[in-house]
Each structure stands twice: as structure tokens, then as C-alpha cells.
A = this chain, B = another copy of it.
Amino acid sequence: MPTLRLDLAYDGSGFRGYASQEGQRTIQGVLEDSIALAIGARVDTSVAGRTDAGVHARGQVVSFDLDDRVDLGRLMRSLNGLVGPEISVRSAKEVADGFDARFSASWRRYRYAISTEVAPDPLTRGFVWHLGPRLDVDAMVATASEFEGEHDFSAFCRSVEGKSNIRRVHEASWQVGDDHIYFWITANAFCHQMVRSLVGLAYDVGRGHTAAVSVAGIIASGDRGRVATVAPPHGLTLWEVGY
């Protein structure tokens, strides 16, 4: 019983997120319907990152088991004919038995893109949050190191009853360019809306609504009410997953 791994990229703009929902257009829904058409059987997929509505992916990973071997090159071409152009299957491989895109993953990396240009760039508007030039970027950059390490991220998550919000952030940093700033974050896993809430807090710091010195206290408080802003989904991309 072969296990397959698909690497996906997608423009999340037109989808209600990754995970299947009855009556909604989702990445998982389109992908699983396409797999069923391509191989003539429905499969249960596992995914590395359940991205929210409007969030994009460059390096999403999906796995599933099949009853029989298939021609991988042909499967990939068939799927790309069915799922495109908003979704792209960038590779299809057979992997070791027991590989699970979700449970085998050791880290996920996301990128959040912000434009600091005076006027937004029409060519990147679907993938970049335009905030303009009046931000205190140095103060935003200073927030990142506070996010690193193992914390209870309840202040940044839409909590699910009975589930822990403790996550280990391996690395969080801002990459500052001439007219864009990028927030990069790598963690073992992320709770719901975590990256967008961290970026939202950094934005509140950058525009002077929240003092940079209070960030550690906000994390420690676990108080969701202290993070006023959730950055919009279109600036966020699931960049890479590590195994």
C-alpha cells in the first residue's frame, strides 16, 4: 500500500481555507475531488498546515495512502489539469510507509509580506498587506525576538476548548527591504490565527498603538483581548514544512 506525498502551492484568494467544509470551495475539497477523478478512487489526505481562508501556500505538503501503485508523472499532470491554475501540484513522490504530512512534520515556516510603499503595487496586491511608509519598522523588528521560544500563545490564538496553545517558535525575524518588510516565523506548529495575530501586534507596535516593551507581558498574559489586530490573510503564505 504505497504512501504518496504531494507538494502544493496555491493562491488562497478564492478559497474558504484548506480544510474541507460542506458546501464551501476549499483547497482540500478541490484536491480530493481531483484525486478521485485522476485515479478513480477517493482518498483521505493528511496536510501539514491547515491554512485559513485567503491564506496562500508555496510549500504545502499533503500525504495519502493508495491501494495500488500509480504512474507519478502522469498523476501529477492529471492533477495539474484538474486543480489549476489557482492550485499547483509541484511534485508527487512515493514516500516511506508511515509518512504522514501532518504528524511527521517537525516544523512549519510562514512568511507574512507587508508593503511600505506610498502607493500599493498592483502586481503584488493579492499577496502583500499594504501599510504604507509611516511605520516604526525598528520597533516592529524588536518584537520578533520576544516571540521566540516555547510559550503559551493563547493571547494570539482562537482557542479550542481543551486544546493547548503551547507552541515552540524556533525562529521569528523581520526581513527589511526598501519597500517591503517580511515577517518570517518557524515553529513546531501554529495555533489558529497565530501568525496573523503576531503580525497584528507588530503592526500595532509599528503604528504606536502598543508599546514594544509591553509585548513580553502580552504574551505572558495569555489574554486574547490585548491583541486588537489580526492581520488580513492575503499577506500570509505557508512557505515550507520540515520533516
> Interface on A for B, CB 8 Å cutoff?
9-11, 56, 58, 76, 80, 84-91, 117-123, 125, 127, 237
Which residue, of A86, A91, A118, A122, has the highest number of chain B Cβ atoms within 10 A? A122
| A127 nearest in chain B by CB position | B123
Does the CB pair A123–B91 fall under 8 Å?
no
B123 touches A85 (CB 8 A): no
The listed residue (B11, B120, B122) touching A123 by CB distance below 8 A is B11
A88 & B122 in contact (Cβ 8 Å cutoff): yes
For the complex, give the distance between the alpha carbons of A117 and B85 in Å: 14
Given contact pairs A80-B120, A84-B122, enumerate 14 new A-B contacts (beta carbons under 8 Å): A11-B122, A11-B125, A84-B120, A85-B122, A85-B125, A86-B122, A88-B119, A88-B121, A88-B122, A90-B117, A90-B119, A91-B118, A91-B119, A123-B127
A-B pairs with the 5 shortest C-beta distances? Answer: A11-B122, A88-B119, A90-B119, A88-B122, A86-B122
A80→B119 CA distance, assembly (Å) = 7
Copies in the complex: 2
Contact residues in B for A11 (Cβ distance below 8 Å) = 122-123, 125
Q: Enumerate chain B residues within 8 angstroms of A88, measured Cβ to Cβ.
A: 119-122
Chain B residues lying within 8 Å of A89, measured Cβ to Cβ, are 119
Q: How far is the CA of A160 from the CA of B84 in the complex (A)?
A: 39
Q: Report yes or no: A119 in contact with B237, Cβ–Cβ below 8 A.
A: no
- Across the interface, do A123 and B9 meet the contact criterion of CB distance under 8 Å? yes
Choose from B10, B58, B117, B119 the contact partner of A76 (Cβ within 8 Å). B119
- Cα A18 to Cα B91 in complex, Å, equals 38
- Select from chain B the residue with minimum beta-carbon distance to A179: B90
The answer to whether A122 and B87 touch across the interface, beta carbons within 8 angstroms, is: yes
Point out the residues of chain B lying under 8 angstroms from A76, CB to CB: 118-119
A74 CB, min distance to chain B CBs, angstroms? 13
Q: Which residues of B contact A119 (CB under 8 A)?
A: 9, 76, 80, 88-91
| Pairs across A and B, CB under 8 Å, 26 listed | A9-B119, A9-B121, A9-B122, A9-B123, A10-B122, A11-B122, A11-B123, A56-B122, A58-B121, A58-B123, A76-B118, A76-B119, A80-B119, A80-B120, A84-B122, A85-B122, A85-B125, A86-B122, A87-B122, A88-B120, A88-B122, A89-B119, A90-B117, A90-B119, A91-B118, A91-B119
